Amino acid sequence: MAKTTASKSSKSKKAAAQVTEDGQYPIYDASASRDSFKKGDVLFFSKVRNWLDKGALVEAYGTVVNTGLFANEVPYLEVSFDHSEVKKLNKVDLGKDKRKFLLEVK
């Protein structure tokens, strides 16, 4: 009689995109998986530093312009708060810099 073994395939769970109260844009979540967001996505950030106003914390929308890995293991998003679509949504000007936000933070 031949031995048979059954094995479960381990698939990583993809995080479901969370939606803001208005039902329009996903909320940035640092614990989200690396494939949760892609280039061009508009995200809502509940706390972002406004360096033009002495580092005050503000709510803002940003556009994902790039994704990548630090040291080939830590995933991140590169976000711009200066695109025309999100500039209309934001109450304050956050400048033209691009900021990096980590993913899969535990």
Give the tens place of pLDDT for each residue, 9-60.
Answer: 444 443 344 444 556 899 999 999 989 999 999 999 999 999 889 999 999 9
Q: Which residue has the tokens 């890995």?
A: 69
Please indicate, yes or no, if residue 3 is contained in any of the structural domains. Answer: no
Tally of domains within the chain: 1
Backbone angles phi, psi at 80, to 5 degrees: -115, 135
Distance CA 32, CA 76 (A): 10
Predicted local confidence at residue 23, as pLDDT: 63
What's the predicted TM-score (pTM) here? 0.73
Residue-wise burial string across 6-34, b where 16 or more C-beta atoms lie within 10 A, e elsewhere: eeeeeeeeebeeeeeeeeebbebbeebeb
Please indicate, yes or no, if residue 40 is contained in any of the structural domains. Answer: yes
Please indicate, yes or no, if residue 1 is contained in any of the structural domains. Answer: no
Please indicate, yes or no, if residue 14 is contained in any of the structural domains. Answer: no
What residues are paired with 74 via a beta bridge?
70
Range of the domain at 29: 19-106
Please indicate, yes or no, if residue 4 is contained in any of the structural domains. Answer: no
Q: Quote the percentage of the chain above a pLDDT of 70.
A: 78
